[in-house]
Structure 1
Amino acid sequence: MHMLNLGILAHVDAGKTSLTERLLHTAGVIDEIGSVDDGSTRTDTLALERRRGITIKSAVVSFPVDDVTVNLIDTPGHPDFIAEVERVLGVLDGAVLVVSAVEGVQAQTRVLMRTLRRLGIPTLVFVNKIDRRGARGAELVRSVAERLKVPVVPMGTAERLGTPDARFVPGLGPAALDVLADHDDDLLAAYVEGAVRPERVRAALAEQTRQGLVHPVYFGSAVTGAGMDPLITGIRELLPAAGGDPAGPLSGTVFKVERGPAGEKIAYARVFTGTLRVRDRVPFGDPPQEGKVTAVGVFDHGTDVPADAVPAGRIARVWGLADIRIGDFLGVPRKPYGHFFAPPTLETVVVPGPGTDPGALHLALTQLAEQDPLIGLRHDEVRRETGVSLYGEVQKEVVQATLAEEYGLEVGFRETTPLCVERPIGSGTAAEFVKKGDNPFLATIGLRVDAAPPGSGVTFGLEVELGAMPYAFFKAVEDTVRESLEQGLHGWRVTDCRVTMTHSGYCPRQSHAHQGFDKSMSSTGYDFRGLTPLVLVEALRRAGTRVHEPLHRFRLEAPADTLGALLPVLAALRAVPRTTETQGAVCVLEGDIPAARVHALEQRLPGLTRGEGELECAFDHYAPVTQGPVPERPRTDHNPLNRKEYLLKVTRRTGS
């Protein structure tokens, strides 16, 4: 039995979850098709998902197609939950990208296809809702090719569009051969000579689809079932089966973590090589640790079932690894796949409601962050506040509802603000020496901070000999530098800089006569961890930092006669159009807008464009804040910017 781990991806409301239900029904896994509107679908299991009619968490369900078992992963379509999609992409063998026959290519459709292409994931395109009024056929195929900028192969034609009797008639036309010949010189030669056999075309289609060179396009309706059989055939014949040696060393990746009825952690993991067995002791995580697997489950015929072992290629549910996190490896580490989408660019502070215990709220938010690493938590012990990073306002509503329904905690939020960063302007150096001045630490540290190119992140280097002192002290300095750079001179994360250690020194282990090691006379890691923030912020002061705010690139389509009303609003929201193009009665604007203003534009757009405006936004870059006061962010550390306050807190905390 071959395995295929298949992702279903789409812009919100394109019919992705409905397609999942229809595929399960067509494969004979379920007798009755669930409804998104009624909240009865197999994959939308959260009460909040069923109430809102959107997918929030990825879900796995399986169905057989002849000799292939398909693990189908339904993913969220709303851009606020792109982190769920990101985690799934790293475990897929193939994907189906769903496009509405009425709305066509939408903002998230473009983002998803660009990412699928970049990762080389073989992808079929399914045009859904051909039974709805306004559905388009050949015109939509052209739009998919132009808007997504990909080579597509129509797998047939749609007939009786916009009626309940709409259907899909399979068949490769001459256009398919034209597209395939562009990537196959032998096929092109045979085409010119007029000697192309149908099986040769089909073989070229399968090979190029599996390489991600072309994307077959199917039409159908998840509601009526039209086009399901050809799509299932395409999934089985054109997408690659999962590979991996079951006898090899265990290697897997965790892409989802949830909690069971008793609060226990359940990890969802793709096994790439080897076999995961119950009672195995498995290394996982970074830094590496080991845990004992107490139970595993696999997906089969629409449900998950207990198993004794999970071989390569399958997706497992794993119990027993209490400290497991999303993104952790199991067994032999794999190369990290990194982030495919932009990080969150907004944040807000969670405010406990009447009767909500702050301690219980802190625990609940921590558990939510375990299930979604891109919910970045920021705890302020002084103010007893917790901030969360966000992709958008809908995500905030979901966090609020989840806390109420799953934890019984009522909360509110402060105003959403942009997540800025700080970048050094120039270079700055600072140093503190053992037993000189008012340095209370038994450590000598010198640091230089230099500005680095945008996008380069943070690098740490040495201008002192590595053997000049114990390695643990160098490690303490580097780790503390990286931790301290999370809060710069204005409280924002400092990025795009090089930090170099220019001076080092320590007091070797010493003891009094007839006594053992004396910490008061000898350097420890505490000395280097305590002194580093003071030296670093002084170097940052001398280098100077500038606050940058996140900007989104926007693409706005609207009736040309509404341009006069749009432009003043865009200017008021600090949006800067870069290009303006008129295509008949439609105007297309592209430009930049501050992340903090995107939601306001989304709210005002329908009224300004008679409901016909379409907005596509995605994070693009950070730009210096040039208007108004420099944004400041409250600090959550011991505030090394105030030396006296810092030393009081640090020495009191350690009991020195």
Structure 2
Amino acid sequence: MHLLNLGILAHVDAGKTSLTERLLHTAGVIEELGSVDAGSTTTDTLALERRRGITIKSAVVSFPLDGVTVNLIDTPGHPDFIAEVERVLGVLDGAILVVSAVEGVQAQTRVLMRTLRRLRIPTLVFVNKIDRRGALGDALLRRMARALAVPLVPMGRPAALGTRAARFLPGLGPQALDTLADQDDELLAAYLDGGVPHDRLHTALAARTRQGSVHPVYFGSAVTGAGLPELTEGIERLLPTADGDPDGPLSATVFKIERGPAGEKVAYARLFSGTLRIRDRVPFGTGPAEHPTGDGRTARRAPEDGPEERRTTDGRAPEPVGGHRPVGGHREEGRVTALTVFDRVLDERRESAGPGRIVKVWGLGGIRVGDALGLPATPRGHHFAPPTLETVVVPGPGTDGRSLHLALGRLAEQDPLIDVRHDERRRETSVSLYGEVQKEVIQATLADEYGLDVTFRETTTLCVERPAGTGHAVEFNKKDANPFLATVGLRVDPAPAGSGVGFRLEVELGSMPYAFFKAVEDTVRETLGQGLYGWRVTDCTVTMTHAGYSPRQSHAHQRFDKSMSSTGHDFRGLTPLVLVEALRRAGSLVHEPLHRFRLQAPADTLGALLPVLARLGAVPETTATHAAHGVLEGIVPAARVHELGQRLPGLTRGEGELETAFDHYAPITRGTPPRRARTDHNPLNRKEYLLNVTRRAGD
């Protein structure tokens, strides 16, 4: 039996969860259709999802087709939960993008299609709600082609639109041949020679769909079941199934973490290669399984006070060997105590699972979202912007601060982009957000699952810092005012926008215990969470240029003095001082998040809208008029999006429609850059930092 891991994605309210319900019913997995409005759907299992009628967490169910077992992953549609979608994308073989026949292409539809295309995930498009009043057919297809800018192949046409009798009439028309011939020279030649046989056209369609270069379009209704037989046939015949060697090395990716009834961690993982068995000891993490040293040996993680591997005479490392090289990631090991695979609606216990399976794994206590089991799969990187908003969580009467911090930590392990930040000085805890709906969900979750009453302060914008140039700093072991038994030299260089933080070595990896390099890298990433202005520093490469340590002395009849040898504490303590000095010399620029907006309103209201947009810092880039409506597109600061949405109804007689999505970060050039309060030991102030870290000031 072949396996297919299929994601369903859509803008909120396009009918994604209803389509999941209909697919399960069509396959005979469930006897009765659940309803989103009634809170009775199979995949929306959280009480909060049922109350609000939206998907918040991804859910996995399985159903059989004739020759394929489909693991179906229902994802959230609301943009506030885009991080949940991102984690799912890395484990998919194919996807269905759902578009409403009434609302058409919406902001999230564009974002999702761009990402699916970039990742080359084979995708079918399902136009839902053809039975609803106002549903469009050919006109919507033309709009989709313009708005999504991708090759679409209609698999038929809808009939009786906007009525309960609406149905889908299958059949490839001339547009399918035109689209495929544009991408296939042999097909074009056959077309010009007199025609293309039907079988050959379908073969070409399947090949191009599996490559992610064309997207078949189906019309139908998840409520009535119209178009569902044709869609399920397309799932089976046009999308690629999973592959992988069951006898190969273990490789899997964790895309979801939840807690079991006893509080134990349960990891959802997609297997790409190898076989996972109960009682296996499994390495997991985000770094390489092994670390090649400079002299060809293999170094596993060394203890902090590990043995000397190679000495230097002046506190410097030898010249670099092999150029820049990464060091990275946490690696741990755990024993699998239980394993389940998905079979229809339920997950069932198994002794083992092979490639293509989505499994739930127990026993890996330190597991995190994004970790690899065994060998890392090919990384797909980040596809969506990080959160651009932040709010302070205010404990209500009777809410214990420690319990709140623990609960927020549990939420953050399920969603790593909920960055929990605790300020000891102000005794405040803040969390990062995508939007106001997510804030409401966090509040309700804390109340329902943890019995904690909280409120929030006003949401603020999260900026980032980027290096303005290159800066270098170094401190040597036992020299000058360095109180740590360590040599650390770091160079900070700007990197392309969106590249994140890279860490490289210009020193030989074998020049000191690997644990010390690991301590430096981990501390670099942690320190960059707060730059010169207190914002997260991104889009830079940090290179370690100098390294040295004091090894253990083991002479006969001489007592070992631990205080004279280096530990991981020395490297963790020194690295922030060196890094912020390098960053100081490089300089940094504060960047604010900007959203792209599309605003549709009655044409006669544009005159009143434009001055308001200007006052909010929005910059319209294009203006168009369609019949009685005008459309403005442009850029607006993320900090003003909420206010724009609130003011829009009054300015447009309630007829205005606003779509926004994160676009990019831009440097703040007006006035003094905003600062964010620090929550660390403040390495910008050496004396204060040393007092906090070593309890004594350096000379």
Shared fold, TM over 0.5 = yes
After superposition, the Cα gap between the structure-2 partners of 1:64 and 1:541, relative to the gap in structure 1 and judged at 3 Å, is closer
- Counterparts of 1:246 and 1:469, CA distance in 2: 38
1:577 alignment partner in structure 2:
620
- Aligned pairs for 1:320-335 (under 5 A) are 320-335=363-378
* Closer/same/farther in 2, CA of residues 201 and 632 from structure 1, 3 Å limit: same
In structure 2, what is the Cα distance between the partners aligned to 1:264 and 1:445? 39
Deviation at 1:122, TM superposition (A): 1.1
CA 1:470–1:293: 2 relative to 1, 3 Å: closer
Is the contact made by 1:369 and 1:376 (CA closer than 8 Å) also made in structure 2?
Answer: yes
Matched residues in 2 for 1:321 and 1:471: separation? 24
Identity of aligned residues (%): 78
CA distance in structure 2 between the partners assigned to 1:468 and 1:122 by the alignment: 46
User: How far 1:460 moved relative to its partner?
Assistant: 5.0
Which amino acid letter does the alignment assign opposite residue 393 of structure 2? V
Q: Is residue 427 of structure 2 the alignment partner of residue 387 of structure 1?
A: no
The unaligned stretches of length 5 or more in structure 2 are 287-329
Aligned to 2:576: 533
Q: Within 5 A, what are the aligned runs for 1:98-117?
A: 98-117=98-117
Q: Select 1:565's aligned residue among 605, 608, 614.
A: 608
Evaluate the alpha carbon distance shift between residue 289 and residue 580 of structure 1 in structure 2; reply closer, same or farther with a 3 A threshold.
same
Report the Cα distance in structure 2 between the residues aligned to 1:412 and 1:68, rounded to whole angstroms. 48
Do the aligned partners of residues 53 and 504 (structure 1) sit closer, same or farther apart at CA in structure 2, a change above 3 Å counting? Answer: closer
Q: Is the Cα contact below 8 Å between 1:81 and 1:395 reproduced in 2?
A: yes
Q: Partners of 2:362 and 2:28 in 1: how far apart?
A: 29
Q: 2:679 — aligned with what?
A: 636
Asked if the contact 2:690/2:696 (under 8 Å) is kept, the reply is no
Q: Is the contact made by 2:101 and 2:137 (CA closer than 8 Å) also made in structure 1?
A: yes
**How many residues were matched structurally?**
654
Alignment check: 8 A CA contact 2:22 2:225 kept: yes
Aligned to 1:149: 149
TM-superposition CA deviations, 1:341-380 (whole Å, max 9, x none): 1111111121111111111111111111111111122222
* Cα pair 2:9 2:74 within 8 Å, conserved: yes
Pair 1:450–1:117, CA change in 2 (3 A): closer
- Residue 532 of structure 2 is aligned with which of 481, 489, 501? 489
Letter in 1 for 2:241: A
Q: 1:322 to 1:501 in 2, by over 3 A?
A: closer
**Counterparts of 2:167 and 2:21, CA distance in 1:** 19
Conservation of the 8 A alpha-carbon contact between 1:29 and 1:302: yes
**How does the TM-score come out when normalised to structure 1?**
0.94
Alignment of 1:169-184 (within 5 A): 169-184=169-184
Out of 391, 401, 411, which is 1:348 matched to? 391
Of stretches 455-464 and 98-107 in structure 1, the one that deviates more from structure 2 is 455-464
Q: 1:31 and 1:493 mapped to 2: Cα distance?
A: 50
AA of the residue aligned to 1:121: I
Residues 522, 264 of structure 1: alpha-carbon distance in 2 compared, 3 angstrom cutoff: closer
Residue 121 of structure 2 aligns to which amino acid in structure 1? I
Q: Report how far residue 256 of structure 1 moved.
A: 1.1
Question: Is 1:624 aligned with 2:667?
Answer: yes
Aligned pair 1:30/2:30, yes or no?
Answer: yes
Match of 1:308 in 2: 351
Distance 1:347 1:175, change over 3 A: same
Q: Please state how far the C-alpha of 1:50 moved relative to its aligned partner.
A: 0.5
CA distance in 2 between partners of 1:466 and 1:65 (Å): 52
Distance 1:643 1:138, change over 3 A: same
**Take 1:353 and 1:653, find their aligned partners in 2: how far apart are those partners?**
38
User: Matched residue of 1:535: which SS?
Assistant: helix
Moved more, 518-527 or 560-569: 518-527
CA contact (8 A) 1:511 1:521 kept: no
Which piece of structure 1 moves more, 507-516 or 226-235?
507-516
SS of equivalent to 1:24:
helix
**Following the alignment from structure 1 to structure 2, what is the Cα–Cα distance between the partners of residues 73 and 636?**
38
Q: Give the aligned partner of residue 212 of structure 2.
A: 212
- Superposed displacement of residue 556, structure 1: 2.3
**Is residue 43 of structure 2 the alignment partner of residue 68 of structure 1?**
no
* Matching residue of 1:369: 412
CA–CA distance in 2 between the matches of 1:628 and 1:480? Answer: 32
Instruction: State whether residues 251 and 271 of structure 2, in contact with CA within 8 Å, keep that contact through their aligned partners in structure 1.
Output: yes
Gaps of 5+ in 1: none
**What pairs up with 1:194-213 in 2 under 5 angstroms?**
194-213=194-213
| Distance change in 2, residues 1:540/1:281 (3 Å) | closer
Q: State whether residues 119 and 380 of structure 2, in contact with CA within 8 Å, keep that contact through their aligned partners in structure 1.
A: no
- Provide the C-alpha distance between the structure 2 equivalents of 1:467 and 1:41, rounded to a whole number of angstroms: 56
Secondary structure (helix, strand or coil) at the match of 1:212 reads coil
Q: Is the 8 A contact 2:124 2:216 kept in 1?
A: yes
Task: State the distance in 2 between where 1:443 and 1:309 align.
Answer: 47
Instruction: Give how far 1:485 is off.
Output: 2.2
SS of the equivalent of 1:378 reads strand
Q: Distance in 1 between matches of 2:496 and 2:210?
A: 37
Q: How does 1:421-432 map to 2 (within 5 A)?
A: 421-432=464-475
Residue 82 of structure 1 is matched in structure 2 by 82
Pair 1:653–1:154, CA change in 2 (3 A): farther
Residue equivalent to 2:246:
246
| CA apart distance, 1:101 | 0.7
Counterpart check, 1:132 vs 2:175: no
- Aligned amino acid, residue 594 of structure 1: P
Of residues 302-311 and 69-78 in structure 1, the stretch that sits farther from structure 2 once superposed is 302-311
State the one-letter code of the partner of 1:28. G
Flag the structure with more relative contact order, 1 or 2, with Cα contacts below 8 A and sequence separation at least 6.
2
Q: 1:463-612 to 2 correspondence within 5 Å? A: 473=516, 476-499=519-542, 507=550, 509=552, 514-612=557-655
* Residue 443 of structure 1: how far off its partner (Å): 4.1
Gap change, CA 1:31 and 1:504, over 3 Å in 2: closer
SS across alignment from 2:687: helix
Alpha-carbon spacing, 1:225–1:449, altered in 2? closer, same or farther (3 Å): closer
Structure 1 pair 521/234, CA: closer, same or farther in 2 (3 Å)? closer
| The 10-residue stretch of structure 1 (85-94 or 48-57) with the greater mean CA deviation from structure 2 | 85-94
TM-score using structure 2 length: 0.88
Across the aligned residues of Structure 1 and Structure 2, the Cα RMSD in angstroms comes to 2.5
Is the 2:272–2:377 contact (alpha carbons within 8 Å) kept by the matching residues of 1? no
1:223-242 equivalence runs, <5 A: 223-242=223-242
- Deviation at residue 464 of structure 1 after TM alignment: 7.0
Deviations 1:419-473 (CA, angstroms, capped at 9, x unpaired):
1122333455555455555443344555554555544544556677778776655
Question: 2:693 maps to which residue?
Answer: 650
1:146 corresponds to which letter in structure 2? R
2:262 counterpart residue number = 262
Give, in whole Å, the separation in 1 of the partners of 2:64 and 2:477. Answer: 69
CA contact (8 A) 1:512 1:518 kept: no
State whether residues 71 and 358 of structure 2, in contact with CA within 8 Å, keep that contact through their aligned partners in structure 1.
Answer: yes
User: 1:325: how far off?
Assistant: 1.4
